[in-house]
Amino acid sequence: MYVAPSILSADFGNLQRDVEAICDAGCDFVHVDVMDGHFVPNLTIGPVVVSAIAACATKPLDIHLMVENNTFFVDLFAPLKPEYISFHIEEEKHPHRLIQKIRSLGIKPAIVLNPHTPPESIEYLLGDLDMVLLMSVNPGFGGQSFIESVVPKAKKLSAMRDKINPNCLIEVDGGVSNKNIQMLKDAGVDIVVAGSYVFSHKDKKEAIASLKI
């Protein structure tokens, strides 16, 4: 299991310290939540702060867009050369075109599904994706409870992925901890995002290690 701590739960007064701490503690990616106050009822960070994160991160960035105008934000963040940019299928009229655009910028394209969105909605996009991110909370905030229906959904998506595009990774985001990591692993999940679980631990190495099963 790969682990991508979400910097949403970091101490923003000590952002460099916290980004370095998770990288030193063995995370695989740094998950960056970009919220615009329109698609979700919260507002986070833009390219100025994300470039400061990129400058001190020794692990690749996984940028999760929760915004209304995806193409505009892809153009803003592409110069930072993240590993992944993921966008919500619920907010995109032309997802295939945007996947092509992200790939043409040398970035791995990923699609995010909200808790209500069925995996079948991306059946014809799966062949062109490097990752699918399943939300296990409603997007917008850290520290929410895990929505269990993501487990059968991940199983269904995993079977589709094995048939259509075995190289496509499955990521789960929200309420992840050592309590649900085994069921996510069993459901075929490859990457977990964990915000409050990792940052509430004094020993980040131990917290990350407990998810790397």
Any idea which residues carry the catalytic annotation? 33, 173
144, HSE (Cβ side, Cα atoms, 13 Å) = 15
Q: Which stretch binds ligand DX5 (CB under 6 A): 76-84, 85-93, 132-140, 160-168?
A: 132-140
Write out the H or E segment, with its range, that includes residue 29. none
Segment near Zn ion (CB under 5 A); pick from 22-30, 63-71, 140-148, 179-187: 63-71
Q: Cβ-closest residue to Zn ion?
A: 64
Instruction: List the structure tokens of 63.
Output: 């940028």
- 195 in contact with ligand DX5 (CB under 6 A): yes
Report the residue number, 164 or 201, with the smaller CB distance to ligand DX5.
201
Q: 176 in helix, strand or coil?
A: coil
173 in contact with Zn ion (CB under 5 A): yes
Of 134, 109, 130, 108, residue with least CA distance to 121: 134
SS3 label, residue 81 = coil
Tell the smallest beta-carbon distance from residue 104 to ligand DX5 (Å): 26
Q: Which of residues 28-57 bind Zn ion (CB under 5 A)?
A: 33
